[in-house]
């Protein structure tokens, strides 16, 4: 096996498509968003990318195995632009892998005629979120304006640590290929998988690309996560606090 390998699975003719990336990351926001797109819209698996920089691992489903990979699905929604959706269970395990995989992903995207890239992800706030803003970053000033016009927030010095991993490099490496690229980052506490943040990101993407989807499945998942969060909070409050200890000694 080579360091990076592209497996073409189907043709999937696409008209002026955009690449939509949602790999694992903060709050799994990008991955949830990309997977929700694939659940709600018809899609065809068109390519897989394998790499020695992925974990040495197979997943098992119905008894048969699949080598660690990233997957590209072609999506042709009734309304809006065609999409090439990139998702998967893994990020690269080292720096050279991140650079090399991102280059390979852009190679695949260009084979399908992609000229615009949207990287989806989360940005950790460290606290519970009431209103889910979506932060933006892009490779060109004109794209910044376009994103602002659909409600994407741009704030000075945010995200503070820049953007890391494939989402960051998709922007960093798109410039040298004359591709436009933007990153849409849903705010999220950073502590739990966050379907609400994923929905906020998708609602922006919907504005930009024009597709129509339902969010019920994401909302159900959000309710489940709130239940999980409630239980964690209860468990934490159930542990003895300093004042309880004092009582024991006083008693």
Distance CA 243, CA 251 (A): 12
Task: State which of residues 158, 190, 217, 229 lies at the interface with a copy of itself (CB under 8 A).
Answer: 158
Decide: is 173 part of the binding site for a copy of itself (CB under 8 A): yes
Task: State which of residues 15, 126, 131, 176 lies at the interface with a copy of itself (CB under 8 A).
Answer: 176
What letter does residue 168 receive in the DSSP assignment? Answer: H
Distance CA 49, CA 143 (A): 29
Q: How buried is 52 (Cβ within 10 angstroms: 0-12 exposed, 13-18 middle, 19+ buried)?
A: middle
Q: Which residues of 158-180 are buried (b: 16+ CB within 10 A; e: fewer)?
A: ebeeebebbbbbbbebbeeeebb
Q: What's the 3-state SS for 188-213?
A: ECCCCCCHHHHHHHHHHHHHHHCCCC
Decide: is 93 part of the binding site for a copy of itself (CB under 8 A): yes
Decide: is 65 part of the binding site for a copy of itself (CB under 8 A): yes
The one segment of 20-28, 155-163, 205-213, 222-230 that binds a copy of itself by CB under 8 A: 155-163
Task: State which of residues 54, 118, 211, 215 lies at the interface with a copy of itself (CB under 8 A).
Answer: 54
The one segment of 11-19, 86-94, 109-117, 229-237 that binds a copy of itself by CB under 8 A: 86-94
**Closer to a copy of itself at the Cβ: 63 or 238?**
63
CB neighbourhood size of 84 (10 A)? 26
Decide: is 168 part of the binding site for a copy of itself (CB under 8 A): yes
**Closer to a copy of itself at the Cβ: 116 or 139?**
139
Residue 240, both tokens: 């003895």
- Whole-number CA gyration radius for the chain: 20
Distance CA 16, CA 150 (A): 21
The one segment of 41-49, 97-105, 206-214, 232-240 that binds a copy of itself by CB under 8 A: 97-105
Q: Whole-number minimum distance, CB 221 to a copy of itself, in Å?
A: 17
Decide: is 138 part of the binding site for a copy of itself (CB under 8 A): yes
The one segment of 71-79, 132-140, 193-201, 237-245 that binds a copy of itself by CB under 8 A: 132-140
Task: State which of residues 6, 44, 129, 144 lies at the interface with a copy of itself (CB under 8 A).
Answer: 144
Decide: is 159 part of the binding site for a copy of itself (CB under 8 A): yes
Decide: is 217 part of the binding site for a copy of itself (CB under 8 A): no
The set of residues, in sequence order, having a beta carbon less than 8 Å from that of 186 and lying 6+ positions away, is: 27, 29, 33, 120, 121, 122, 123, 132, 133, 134, 135, 194, 197, 198, 200, 201
Distances (CA, A) of 96 to 4, 99, 125, 181, 218: 11, 5, 28, 21, 34
Q: Which residues bind a copy of itself (CB under 8 A)?
A: 1, 3, 52-60, 62-68, 92-100, 102-103, 136-141, 144, 147, 154, 158-159, 161-166, 168-169, 171-173, 175-176, 183
């Amino acid at each position: 096996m080579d360091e990076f390998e592209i497996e073409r699975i189907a043709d999937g003719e696409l008209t002026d498509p955009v690449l939509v990336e949602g790999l694992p990351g903060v709050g799994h926001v990008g991955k949830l968003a990309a997977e929700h797109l694939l659940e709600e819209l018809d899609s065809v698996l068109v390519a897989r990318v394998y790499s020695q920089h992925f974990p040495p691992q197979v997943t098992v489903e119905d008894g048969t195995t699949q080598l660690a990979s990233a997957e590209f699905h072609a999506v042709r929604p009734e309304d809006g632009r065609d999409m090439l959706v990139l998702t998967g269970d893994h990020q690269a395990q080292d720096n050279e892998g991140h650079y090399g995989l991102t280059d390979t992903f852009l190679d695949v995207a260009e084979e399908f005629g992609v000229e615009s890239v949207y990287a989806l992800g989360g940005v950790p706030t460290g606290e519970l979120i009431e209103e889910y803003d979506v932060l933006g970053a892009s490779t060109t000033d004109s794209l910044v304006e376009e994103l602002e016009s659909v409600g994407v927030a741009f704030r000075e010095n945010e995200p503070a640590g820049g953007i890391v991993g494939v989402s960051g490099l998709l922007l960093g490496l798109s410039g040298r290929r004359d591709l436009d690229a933007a990153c849409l980052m849903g705010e999220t506490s950073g502590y739990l998988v966050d379907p609400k943040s994923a929905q906020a990101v998708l609602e922006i993407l919907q504005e930009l690309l024009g597709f129509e989807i339902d969010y019920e499945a994401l909302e159900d998942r959000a309710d489940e996560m709130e239940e999980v969060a409630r239980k964690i909070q209860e468990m934490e409050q159930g542990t003895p606090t300093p004042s309880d200890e004092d009582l024991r000694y006083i008693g």
